[in-house]
Amino acid sequence: MNSFQYLCHFEAEDGATFFAECASTNPMPGMSLKAYATFTDIVQKQNPTTATIAKLLPPLPRTDLPIYCVGLNYKSHAKEAKLNVPANPPVWTKPAAALSAANETIPVSRFCASHLPDWEGYQGELVFVTAHECRDLTPEEASEYILGYTIGNDLSCRFFQLPEQSGGQFFYAKAFDKFAPIGPVLVNPSTFAKSKATANLVTRVNGEVKQNTTIRTDMIFTPERVLSWMSQSTTIPAYTVVMTGTPAGVGVFQRPRQLLSDGDQIEVEVSGLGILSNVVKFEEGQDSIM
């Protein structure tokens, strides 16, 4: 199935959507590519056409599935949060409506902007996508069920993660529309393997480095371990997105606390996967239900 090196998904000027194999991790608007209307077509190399990128979409075969997220998966983040590392990966989900794409402006609603958004949600995360439906995998089996790797962000409205607001649950704080940018490309595991052992994750806000870590030495639970744990007694659909956690640099733990501002540009770079860039746009005014 993994017949691509760098897979992109995009919309053309007429609104039609296509999949294409890119030459690098940096597909740009205006590029003309050999393109396919469906993921099945690109896998089977059938019905090709030529199309020009107008805007990027999340590089995923499906965009209607819940997004799985992992917490406390970096030693550096557990240390800054003063939390003990659990025996197994903490897992929750974001809804499909949270998906957004590389270069997309992320709207922060009046409701959310009024309640402590922070750029933790735009901190970098290594992301993988499942290749097949799976259940009860061992970690050794899991690598065969990974379609590819990309970059993601887990935007949060931290106010609603506080115990007195939502009992300490994560879902509501992270589930707002467009709060899960993914992209710019999906990279074949064998291609990413060339960078994986030494891959760095760097997050910049308006050009200032906020995170910088070597994934292999900081990450606690590998993607294979995460997928194995998720799949125990649980059917995981093919093409499920899994965000594998964030390292140190979470805005709410900084002193002084570092929050997002209207117009901030966030870039997340992972060696071998490219750069995921987004700008946040705050709606005007205040809106509170409190």
Joined tokens for residue 18: 């296509």
pLDDT digits (tens, 9 = 90+) for 236-285: 999 999 999 999 886 555 555 667 788 999 999 999 999 999 999 988 75
- How far is Cα 39 from Cα 18, in angstroms, rounded to an integer? 8
Find residue 119's DSSP bridge partners: none
Residues 150, 179, single domain; the answer is yes
- Both tokens assigned to 159: 């106010």
The verdict on 206 and 96 lying in the same domain is: yes
Question: Which domain covers residue 38, as residue numbers?
Answer: 6-57
In this prediction, residue 161 carries a pLDDT of 75
| 274-282 sheet: strands from edge to edge | 105-108, 274-282, 265-270, 200-205, 208-214
How do residues 35-60 score in pLDDT, each as one tens digit?
Answer: 999 999 999 999 999 999 999 999 99
Instruction: Output the pTM of the full model.
Output: 0.93
Whether residues 119 and 191 fall in one domain: yes
Torsion angle of the four alpha carbons 102, 130, 133, 58, in this order, in degrees rounded to the nearest 10 = 10
Structural domain contains residue 176: yes
Look at residue 238 and tell me if it is in a domain. Answer: yes
Examine the domain organization and report whether 11 and 118 are in the same domain.
no
Q: Are residues 194 and 271 in the same domain?
A: yes
Q: Which amino acid is at 189?
A: P
- Do 241 and 99 fall into the same domain? yes
Q: Go through 102-116 and write b for each residue having 16 or more CB atoms within 10 A of its CB, e for each that does not.
A: bbbebbbeeebbbbb
Residue 178 forms part of a structural domain: yes
Q: Is residue 1 part of a domain?
A: no
Residue 228: both structure tokens together: 């194995």
Question: Does residue 150 sit within a domain?
Answer: yes
Contact status, residue 261 vs residue 142, Cβ threshold 8 Å: no
**270 CB contacts (<8 Å, ≥6 apart)?**
124, 126, 151, 199, 200, 201, 202, 215
Could you tell me if 25 and 97 lie in one domain? no
| Statement to judge: residues 30 and 128 lie in one domain | no
- Are 273 and 230 part of one and the same domain? yes
The Cα 28–Cα 151 span in angstroms is 17
Are residues 183 and 91 located together in one domain of the fold? yes
Per-residue pLDDT of the chain (290 residues; tens, 9 = 90+): 667 999 999 999 999 999 999 999 999 999 999 999 999 999 999 999 999 999 999 999 999 999 999 999 999 988 888 888 999 999 999 999 999 999 999 998 888 877 655 444 567 899 999 999 999 999 999 999 999 999 999 998 877 777 777 677 778 889 999 999 999 999 999 999 999 999 999 999 999 999 999 999 999 999 999 999 999 999 999 999 999 999 988 655 555 566 778 899 999 999 999 999 999 998 875 555 44
Is residue 49 domain-shared with residue 116, that is, in the same domain? no
Written as six digits, the tokens of 115 are 């309640």
Supply φ then ψ for residue 73, to 5 degrees: -110, 10
Total of domains in the chain: 2
Task: Say if residue 173 is in the same domain as residue 36.
Answer: no
